[in-house]
């Protein structure tokens, strides 16, 4: 790659991601160098989308997908990109920033943070059905920035610039530059909430959460049957530690790794703790309970659209997505969970969960969020 505005095409020889949930990475592909193309061509091609970062080489990776597809509105952008990728294209960070400097900020930016397993993928898809909204679920450039910030918090200005550039480039995809962009993050995204507020102070942010017991059961059912094998563990562990900063202090106190149940609860508490810190620091977020989205979907959607400055008449189109499985085709789909069920959590699992809650006073024992777990 040179520094004169060209982009390096990489031909994909093999796709080797060790697990479906491992974040997007150049290491998920076996490639060989191909041709060079003008960097500006990446902005003109509707089938090219920003995929991930290689911070060691200071490169941004784009995916070239087959013609005519649109990856907006899918279950997980990083996974859809991985499956569809025909080629990869890289540009240096400096070129990424130069391209982004020529693009507008989205006219409206909607940020969806969550604890996971709480309807956030469904909400992302629902937002994408509202006229004028381009919605992406889990673009992993932000997963990577959250990881980098966790491991090296000394580069705040650089992370802020990466956030702006990545948002502008994502918002430009499909010719949507300057329109409404909705971004739903993995759970680690909330660790960037203050930086997003700094860079985009007018963004409308939503935080989805769920009561601890049903959340724990859903995490167990969705993820425990698919915990990564040793090949994937290191990549996955770095991501988990960035998402759940309460894990390492737990390890130091107990001088052991947490069990899956303990790790799940430490994640839930880490995200909730970060949400409350952001609110305390003046970052405006609309809290949305999974229980409300489930019990009163139309009213809850209406409140979300109003908070986001979207037209009220978009509710019916958004609600229309509720009839489908928002995670169809992934390991988290209803069909996958039926075909590969996890055994029910037992008394020991709930005892471990209660011990974590008692040890970390993030949530008061009387809070309705944990009542079902405390009273088990």
Residue 150 tokens, joined? 């966790």
Residue 104's pLDDT band (boundaries 50, 70, 90)? very high
pLDDT at residue 159 greater than cutoff 90: yes
Condensed to tens digits (0 to 9), the pLDDT of residues 227-278 reads: 877 667 777 889 999 999 999 999 999 999 999 999 999 999 999 999 999 9
For the chain, the residue count is 376
Predicted confidence at residue 69, as pLDDT, reads 84
**Once rounded to an integer, what is the mean pLDDT over residues 99-120?**
97
Predicted confidence at residue 174, as pLDDT, reads 63
- Classified as helix, coil or strand, 191 is helix
Burial class (CB in 10 A: 0-12, 13-18, 19+), 12: middle
Share of the chain above pLDDT 90, in %: 81
Condensed to tens digits (0 to 9), the pLDDT of residues 7-48 reads: 999 999 999 998 888 899 999 999 999 999 999 999 999 999
pLDDT at residue 4 greater than cutoff 70: no
Could you tell me the maximum CA-CA distance found in the chain, to the nearest angstrom? 63
Residue 177's pLDDT band (boundaries 50, 70, 90)? low
Rg, C-alpha atoms of the chain: 20
Question: Which residues have a Cβ under 8 Å from the Cβ of 141 and sit 6 or more positions away?
Answer: 24, 50, 51, 52, 53, 60, 162, 166, 170
Residue 47 CA to residue 39 CA, distance in Å, equals 14
pLDDT at residue 2 greater than cutoff 60: no
Burial class (CB in 10 A: 0-12, 13-18, 19+), 63: buried
**Cα 149 versus chain centre, distance:** 15
Question: Which residues have a Cβ under 8 Å from the Cβ of 148 and sit 6 or more positions away?
Answer: 55, 155, 159
Q: For the residues of 202-221, what is the DSSP string, one character each?
A: T-EEEEEE--HHHHHHHHHH
Q: Are 6 and 38 in contact (CB under 8 A)?
A: yes
Predicted confidence at residue 1, as pLDDT, reads 40
Condensed to tens digits (0 to 9), the pLDDT of residues 47-59 reads: 999 999 999 999 9
Question: Which residues have a Cβ under 8 Å from the Cβ of 62 and sit 6 or more positions away?
Answer: 7, 42, 48, 49, 50, 51, 88, 89, 90, 91
Residue 299's pLDDT band (boundaries 50, 70, 90)? very high
Predicted confidence at residue 3, as pLDDT, reads 47
Whole-model pTM: value is: 0.96
Predicted confidence at residue 176, as pLDDT, reads 58
> Which residue has 């915990």 as its token pair?
227
Half-sphere exposure of 132 (CA within 13 A, CB side): 15
- Sorted by where each starts, the structural domains of the chain and their CATH numbers stand as 103-376 (3.40.50)
Given CA atoms 158, 16, 70, 64 in this order, what sign does their dihedral have? positive
Residue 260 CA to residue 228 CA, distance in Å, equals 12
**Closest Cα to residue 146, out of 192, 102, 186?**
192
**Once rounded to an integer, what is the mean pLDDT over residues 308-333?**
92
pLDDT at residue 62 greater than cutoff 70: yes
pLDDT at residue 197 greater than cutoff 90: yes
**Once rounded to an integer, what is the mean pLDDT over residues 326-332?**
86
């Amino acid at each position: 790659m040179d520094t004169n505005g060209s982009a390096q095409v990489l031909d994909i020889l093999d796709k080797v991601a060790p697990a479906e949930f491992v974040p997007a990475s150049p290491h998920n592909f076996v490639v060989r160098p191909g041709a060079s193309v003008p960097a500006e061509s990446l902005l003109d091609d509707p089938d090219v989308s920003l995929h991930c970062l290689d911070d060691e080489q200071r490169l941004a990776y784009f995916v070239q997908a087959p013609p005519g597809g649109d990856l907006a509105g899918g279950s997980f952008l990083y996974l859809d990109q991985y499956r569809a990728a025909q080629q990869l294209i890289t540009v240096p960070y400096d070129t990424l920033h130069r391209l982004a400097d020529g693009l507008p900020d989205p006219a409206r930016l909607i940020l969806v943070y969550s604890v996971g397993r709480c309807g956030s993928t469904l909400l992302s898809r629902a937002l994408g059905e509202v006229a004028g909204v381009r919605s992406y679920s889990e673009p992993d450039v932000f997963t990577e920035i959250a990881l980098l910030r966790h491991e090296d918090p000394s580069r705040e200005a650089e992370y802020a610039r990466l956030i702006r550039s990545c948002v502008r480039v994502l918002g430009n995809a499909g010719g949507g530059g300057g329109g409404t962009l909705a971004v739903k993050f993995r759970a680690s995204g909330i660790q960037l909430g203050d930086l997003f507020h700094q860079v985009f102070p007018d963004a409308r942010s939503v935080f989805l959460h769920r009561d601890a017991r049903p959340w724990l059961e859903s995490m167990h059912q969705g993820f425990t049957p698919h915990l990564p094998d040793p090949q994937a563990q290191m990549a996955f562990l770095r991501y988990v530690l960035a998402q759940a900063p309460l894990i390492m202090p737990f390890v130091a106190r107990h001088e052991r790794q947490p069990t899956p149940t303990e790790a799940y609860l430490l994640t839930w508490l880490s995200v909730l703790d970060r949400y409350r810190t952001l609110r305390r620091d003046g970052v405006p977020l609309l809290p949305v309970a999974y229980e409300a989205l489930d019990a009163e979907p139309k009213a809850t959607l209406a409140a979300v659209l109003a908070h986001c400055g979207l037209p009220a008449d978009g509710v019916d189109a958004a609600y229309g997505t509720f009839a489908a499985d928002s995670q169809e085709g992934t390991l988290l789909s209803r069909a996958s969970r039926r075909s590969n069920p996890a055994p029910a959590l037992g008394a020991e699992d709930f005892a471990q969960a209660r011990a974590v809650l008692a040890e970390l006073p993030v949530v008061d024992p009387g809070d309705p969020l944990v009542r079902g777990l405390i009273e088990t």
